Chains A and B, each alone.
Chain A
Amino acid sequence: MPKVRIGLLGYGNAAQFHVPAFRRLGPERCELAAVCGRSIERAEAFAKVHGIPRAFATMADMLSAVELDAVDLVVPNHVHAEYAIEAANAGKHIICEKHLTGYFGEPGTPDDEPIGETVPKAKMLERVIEKCDAIGGAIEEAGVKFGYAENWVYAPSFVKLRRLAAAAGGTIIRIQAEESHSGSPSVYAKQWRTAGGGSLVLKGSHPLGAALQLKQWEGETKFGKPIRPSSVVCEVGNLTFIESVKQETKHYIKMDWKDVEDWGLMVLKFDDGSVAEIAAGDTTLGGVHNYLEAYLSNGRIRANINPNDACVAYAPSPEIFGDEYITEKIETKGGWTFPSPEEDWNLGYPHEMADFVSAIAEGREPVSGLMLARDVTVVLYAAYVSAEEGRRVDLGPILG
C-alpha cells in the first residue's frame, strides 16, 4: 500500500491532537511532510516540536514546494470552505475537522455584530447551502477523497454499537444522543461571528453526525441507498439567561454567551419514518456527557462514549487524586468519578485518521465523508430556522 504524504494546514488545538493520531499509523503508512499557517514562526516552531521537515506561511507555498497527497485542514471553521476548494483544485485529498462550513457573516460584517440576533436563520441556511454546493462541486470535479473528521463515527463504543446493530438486523426506529458539558471556556464559542452557532453547532454536530451516519449506513447495508433525514423540529434556549441563574452569586456553569444558544434539542424524522432526538448543552454539570442510544425493533444498544464505567473511582476529598487526569470538564475530583482510561481512544481520534489514510491509500471513500459533512451542516442550520420560526422544517428540498 502506498504511503500517504500529508500537509497540515494550521498549528492550533486540533493540529495538536491530529499529529499523534497520524504518528500512531507509523512512517510506512503516513508521512507528515509539511505544516503551514499564517505565522511562519509558529509554523516553524510547530514543525520542530513535532519533527515535521518543512514549514510554510501559506497553503499555496506548501502545495507548490512539497509533493503531497492530502492536506489536513485544522484551521478555524470559517475558513474551511475556501481552503477545501483551494486544496481540491490543486488535486489534493482533504481531511477536514468539523464543521464543513457555516454562517459567520458577510464580507464586511463588523466583527462585533451579534449576527445570531440580527441575521434571519433562513438567510444563513441559504448561504450555507451555497457554500456546501461550492465545496462539493470542487471535490467532485477534482475526484479527490474528502474525510470528514467526525470522531464519533469512529469512537470504539459507537462502532461496536453499529456492529451489534448489523448482527441484530432489526430496524433502527429511534436514536437518542447528546453531547453536553458545563460550557466552552473560549471566547470564540460564545459569539456567532466566530463560532457559526451555539451549543447545537459546537456540540450537537457530534451526536447529529453519528445519528445521520448510522441511518446512512443502515440504508446502504439493507437497501443499497442511504436513509436520509426528512424533517426537523428544534427548540433552543439560553438557560444561563434565566433571571434567577443570573442572580446567583457563584456560577458553576460558563456564563456570558453573546448571541448563541447554550442549550438546544433537535428532533429529526428520517425518510423511513424513524426518528432521532439530539440534545446539546453548555449547561450540564458532571463532566462531558457523550452518548448515543439506538432503539432497534429487536435490540437496544447504548454507546457511552464519555462517561462510562471502564474505570470508577472515589475520593473523600478532591485533592486526593492530585494532578492525575480524570475526565474532560469535570468540576471536582471529589466523590465518585469515572476517570477516562484514554480519552482520545474513547473519542475515536486515532481511528478516524487511520480510516482517512487507508481510504486515500486504497482509493475508497472514508466511512465519514462528504455527504455526511454536508447533511450535518444543512440539518443544523435548518434546525435553527425551525427554532426561530417555531415550525417544522421539511428537509427534502434542501438536502436534495
Chain B
Amino acid sequence: MSAVRVGLVGCGFSANLHIGGYEQLGPERCQLAAVCGVPKASAEAFAAKHSIPAAFGGMDEMLAGVELDAVDLAVPNYLHAAFIIEAARAGKHVFCEKPLTGYFGGADRPPDELIGKTVPKRTMLEEATRQCAAVLEAVEKAGIKFGYAENWVYAPAFVKLWRLAKTAGGTIIRIEAEESHSGSHADYARQWRTSGGGSLMVKGSHPLGAAIQLKRWEGEEKFGRPIRPASVMCEVGNLTWIEAFKQEEAHHLRTGWRDVEDWGIIVVKFEDGSVAEVKAADTTLGGVHNYLEAYLSNARIRANINPNDSCVAYAPEADIFEPEYISEKIETKGGWTFPSPDEDWHQGYPQEIADFITAIVEDREPAAGAALAREVTLVLYAAYVAAEEGRRVDLKPILG
C-alpha cells in the first residue's frame, strides 16, 4: 500500500490542528508533500517548522508543482466551496474543515456591510443551497472522496456512545447536545461577512453534525437508509447586548459581536418523530462545554467530550499549575478544574484524519462525508430562517 500524498491548503489554526493527525499516521501511510498559503512566506515558514518538503503561494501552483492524492482545506470558510470545486476538477480527494460552505455576502457587496442585519436569511439559505449543490456535483463528477472534518463524529466518547446505542438496539428518541464557551477570540467570528453566521454556525455545527450523523447511522443500521431531519425551529439572541451586561465594568465573556448571534438553540424533528435539541453559545463560562446525550427507548448515554472527569484537579490559587495546560477557554486555573489529558484525542482530531486517509487507501466513503456536510449547512441556514421569521421551517423541500 503506497502512502497517501497530502497537500495542505492554509497554514493557520486548523492546519495546526490537523498536522498532528498526519504525523501520527506515520510516513508509510501518509506524506505531507506540500503546503500552500498566502503570503507564500507564511507557507514557507510553516513548511520549515513541520519538515514539509515544498511550499507554494497558491493551491493552483501547488497542484501543478507536486504530485498529490489529496488536499486538506484548512482555509477560511468563505473559500471552501471554490477550493473544493477546483481540487475536485483536478481529481484530488478533499478533506475540508467544517462548515462545508455558507453565505458570506459575495463580491458585489461592500466588505464592511453588516450582512447579518441587512440580508434576509431566506436569501442566504437559497445561496447556501446553490453552493452545496455545486460542491456535491463537482465531487460526484470527479469521483473523489470527500472527508468532512467534523471531529465530533470521531471523538472517542461519541464513537463509544454509538457503539452502546447500536448494541442496546433501542430507538434514539431524543438527542441533546451543546458546544459553548466564553467566546471566540478571532475577529472573523464576530462578523457574518467572514464567519457565515454566529454561535450556531461556528460552534453549533459540531453538535448538530454529530446529532444528524447519529440518526443517519441509526437509520442505516436498522432500515438501510438514513433517518433525516424533517423540520427545524430555532431561537437566537445576543446575550452580551443585554443592557445590564453592557453596564458591567469587567467583562468575563467576549464582547464585540457585530451582526452575528452569541447564543442559539435549534430544535430538529426527524422524519421518524424523534427530536434533537442543539445549543451553542459564546457566552458560557467555565471552559469549553462539549457534550452529546442520547436518550434511547431502553437506555441513556452521555458523551462528555469536554469537560470530563478523566482528570480532576484542585488548586487553592490560580498560579499553582502554571504553565501546565488545563483545558480550552478555562478562565482560571484556580479551584476545581477538569484538566484534559489530551484534548486533540478527546476531540477526535487524529481519528478524523486517520479515517480520511484510510478511506482513500481502501476506496470507501469516510464516516463523515459530503451528505452530512450538506445537511449540516442547510439545516443551519434553515434554522436562521426559522429564528428570523419566528416560525417552524419544513426541511423536506430544502434537503430533498
Q: State which residues 259-314 of B face A: CB under 8 Å.
A: 263, 265, 267, 269, 272-275, 277, 279, 281, 283-286, 295-300
> Measured between C-beta atoms, what is the minimum distance from B216 to chain A in Å?
15
Contact A222 B300 (CB under 8 A): no
> Measured between C-beta atoms, what is the minimum distance from B82 to chain A in Å?
36
Contact A242 B272 (CB under 8 A): yes
Main secondary structure of the interface of A (DSSP, over half): mixed
Q: Which of B40-48, B92-100, B170-178 contacts A (4 or more CB under 8 A)?
A: B170-178
Contact B274 A242 (CB under 8 A): yes
Contact among B248, B277, B295, B296 with A171 in the assembled complex (CB-CB below 8 Å): B248
Contact B391 A173 (CB under 8 A): no
Contact B174 A174 (CB under 8 A): no
Taking CB as reference atom, which chain B residue is nearest A267?
B235
Cα A368 to Cα B283 with chains together (Å):
29
The interface centre, meaning the residue of B243, B279, B295, B391 with most chain A CB atoms within 10 A of its CB, is B295
Contact A273 B238 (CB under 8 A): yes
Contact B273 A173 (CB under 8 A): no
Known: A233-B233, A250-B298, A391-B390. A239 touches B239 (CB 8 A): no
Cα A392 to Cα B238 with chains together (Å):
17
B242 / chain A contacts, CB cutoff of 8 Å: 171, 173, 272-274
Main secondary structure of the interface of B (DSSP, over half): mixed
Q: Is B392 an interface residue (CB 8 A)?
A: yes
Contact B284 A300 (CB under 8 A): yes
Q: Mark B228-270, 1 if CB is under 8 A from A, else 0.
A: 0000011101111111110010111100000000010101010
Cα A238 to Cα B283 with chains together (Å):
32
B141 / chain A contacts, CB cutoff of 8 Å: none
Contact A237 B239 (CB under 8 A): no
Contact A235 B267 (CB under 8 A): yes
Cα A277 to Cα B281 with chains together (Å):
13
Contact A242 B285 (CB under 8 A): no
Contact A281 B285 (CB under 8 A): no
Cα A347 to Cα B283 with chains together (Å):
29
Cα A239 to Cα B235 with chains together (Å):
22
Contact B248 A283 (CB under 8 A): no
Contact B171 A265 (CB under 8 A): no
Contact among B174, B252, B274, B277 with A297 in the assembled complex (CB-CB below 8 Å): B252
Q: Is A275 an interface residue (CB 8 A)?
A: yes
Cα A281 to Cα B250 with chains together (Å):
38
> Measured between C-beta atoms, what is the minimum distance from B185 to chain A in Å?
18
> Measured between C-beta atoms, what is the minimum distance from A172 to chain B in Å?
9
Cα A182 to Cα B310 with chains together (Å):
29
Taking CB as reference atom, which chain B residue is nearest A393?
B390
Q: Is A284 an interface residue (CB 8 A)?
A: yes
> Measured between C-beta atoms, what is the minimum distance from B3 to chain A in Å?
44
Contact A242 B174 (CB under 8 A): no
Contact among A253, A263, A298 with B297 in the assembled complex (CB-CB below 8 Å): A253
Contact B272 A243 (CB under 8 A): yes
Contact A174 B239 (CB under 8 A): yes
Taking CB as reference atom, which chain B residue is nearest A281?
B174
Known: A174-B263, A235-B267. A245 touches B285 (CB 8 A): no
Q: Is A336 an interface residue (CB 8 A)?
A: no
Contact among B170, B174, B248, B390 with A233 in the assembled complex (CB-CB below 8 Å): B390
Q: Is A286 an interface residue (CB 8 A)?
A: yes
Q: Is B222 an interface residue (CB 8 A)?
A: yes
Q: State which residues 257-301 of A face B: CB under 8 Å.
A: 263, 265, 267, 269, 272-275, 277, 279, 281, 283-286, 295-300
Known: A242-B274, A272-B242, A285-B299. A233 touches B252 (CB 8 A): no
Q: Mark A307-329, 1 if CB is under 8 A from B, else 0.
A: 00000000000000000000000
Contact A238 B248 (CB under 8 A): no
Contact B235 A233 (CB under 8 A): yes
Contact B239 A275 (CB under 8 A): yes
A171 / chain B contacts, CB cutoff of 8 Å: 242, 244-245, 248
Contact B297 A248 (CB under 8 A): yes
B173 / chain A contacts, CB cutoff of 8 Å: 239-240, 242, 245, 263, 283
Cα A240 to Cα B222 with chains together (Å):
18
The interface centre, meaning the residue of A244, A272, A285 with most chain B CB atoms within 10 A of its CB, is A244
Cα A391 to Cα B386 with chains together (Å):
9
Q: State which residues 151-177 of B face A: CB under 8 Å.
A: 170-171, 173-174, 176
Contact B283 A174 (CB under 8 A): yes
Cα A171 to Cα B267 with chains together (Å):
26
B171 / chain A contacts, CB cutoff of 8 Å: 242, 244-245, 248
Cα A273 to Cα B392 with chains together (Å):
21
Contact among A267, A273, A277, A391 with B391 in the assembled complex (CB-CB below 8 Å): A391
Cα A275 to Cα B261 with chains together (Å):
13
> Measured between C-beta atoms, what is the minimum distance from B248 to chain A in Å?
6
Taking CB as reference atom, which chain A residue is nearest B238?
A273
> Measured between C-beta atoms, what is the minimum distance from A126 to chain B in Å?
21
> Measured between C-beta atoms, what is the minimum distance from B212 to chain A in Å?
17
Contact B252 A239 (CB under 8 A): no
B234 / chain A contacts, CB cutoff of 8 Å: 233
A240 / chain B contacts, CB cutoff of 8 Å: 173
Q: Is A364 an interface residue (CB 8 A)?
A: no
Q: State which residues 295-354 of B face A: CB under 8 Å.
A: 295-300
Cα A284 to Cα B275 with chains together (Å):
13
Taking CB as reference atom, which chain B residue is nearest A299?
B285
A222 / chain B contacts, CB cutoff of 8 Å: 244
Cα A146 to Cα B167 with chains together (Å):
52
Interface residues of A (CB under 8 A from B): 170-171, 173-174, 176, 222, 233, 235, 237-245, 248, 250-253, 263, 265, 267, 269, 272-275, 277, 279, 281, 283-286, 295-300, 390-392
A-B contacts, 15 listed (Cβ < 8 Å)? A173-B240, A173-B263, A174-B263, A242-B171, A242-B173, A242-B274, A245-B170, A263-B174, A263-B275, A265-B277, A275-B237, A295-B283, A300-B284, A392-B390, A392-B391
| Given A174-B281, A281-B295, 13 new contacts (CB under 8 A) | A171-B242, A173-B240, A173-B283, A235-B275, A240-B173, A244-B222, A244-B272, A245-B297, A273-B243, A275-B235, A285-B298, A298-B250, A298-B285
Interface residues of B (CB under 8 A from A): 170-171, 173-174, 176, 222, 233-235, 237-245, 248, 250-253, 263, 265, 267, 269, 272-275, 277, 279, 281, 283-286, 295-300, 390-392
Shortest 6 CB-CB contacts between residues of A and residues of B: A390-B392, A392-B390, A239-B173, A173-B239, A273-B242, A242-B273
